[in-house]
Chains A and B, each alone.
Chain A
């Protein structure tokens, strides 16, 4: 992680001086993480790809405004978050019509079924809760970094994440618990 930050910082410095290839490298290092975060957030591959594209374009255009290159990842995810929620707000009336329901994954599960159960359980969460889980569990951000990305207090980050974990535990329980262990 430290090596990655050091290299990112170097690439950012070069990109700021107009080195296009340096920015290309930055994109290739981060595109998969950004795409997967957006994919789980908006639940649509094409939308996730479009927003990823928009995120990297905006990041490139505003690279000079990044105060601390060491905070590049949080800054990049902040842009992705803004773009995703801008889309989700535009689509709100449509998405409200179809409330996701947890699927029944009772019994012993194969890995692929467990993965589907998790995917389904994530959709039960609110957008805010899901995003908190995505940033923490899948992207490994610290609470303070999440607070920076989401522009909310750390206490709110914890509250969203804790509620989400309780919901996930309850939703996944029939599928994953068998006397306290994985089925």
Chain B
């Protein structure tokens, strides 16, 4: 027996995979109740999908390396960029730019009787360029200062660690030298005593 709907039969694969909308689903279910051909097709699909579901998920042989691991560590310039991209820094830059623009655009020193047209004719592009240059220079200077501070601190830390390590090594070798000297002195004294009979009874 074949399905009377032929080419218009429900999309059973979409049905079995949960992709039909509510209405199409309802229509398909009404149809399958009375169609042996579609019942067989749907049953085969369900059995296949049930078999597929027996494949179990496997555990990871080892955990994925996390961000705190070396592989995820940002490089020094990424850290620096991130620091400068923080909202607080951006806000400070905007405020600084606003102050500068205000300082340049405000008509300080303009004659009281100067025509208003003269103020309006201020070359804004030149001001913008100067402000941009000033802000850029300040940003670069702050960035350079931050880098210098970081590098100086890193060098100082390294030197301090090196000094401590050197002092430890020196102290240890001095101790070893002193122990060895004591031991040699004792040995020499003992051999001398054996050879001369001093202190031997």
Contacts and interface: CB of A to CB of B under 8 A. Distances in A.
Q: Name the prevailing secondary structure of the A interface residues.
A: helix
A143 B56 CA distance: 23
20 contacts: A18-B82, A27-B67, A35-B58, A35-B60, A39-B58, A49-B60, A53-B65, A57-B71, A60-B72, A117-B51, A118-B51, A118-B55, A137-B53, A172-B51, A175-B51, A176-B47, A176-B50, A181-B43, A181-B47, A182-B50
Contact of B67 (A24, A53, A172): A24
Contact of B49 (A53, A56, A122, A137): A137
Interface of B: 13-14, 17, 19, 40, 43-45, 47-68, 71-72, 82
Q: Which 4 A-B pairs have the closest CB atoms?
A: A20-B67, A176-B51, A169-B48, A24-B66
B61 A119 contact: no
A22 to B, nearest CB: 9
Interface residues of A, number: 45
Contacts, number: 97
A137 B52 contact: yes
Interface string A55-79: 0110010000000000000000000
Q: Name the prevailing secondary structure of the B interface residues.
A: loop
Contacts of B45: 165, 169
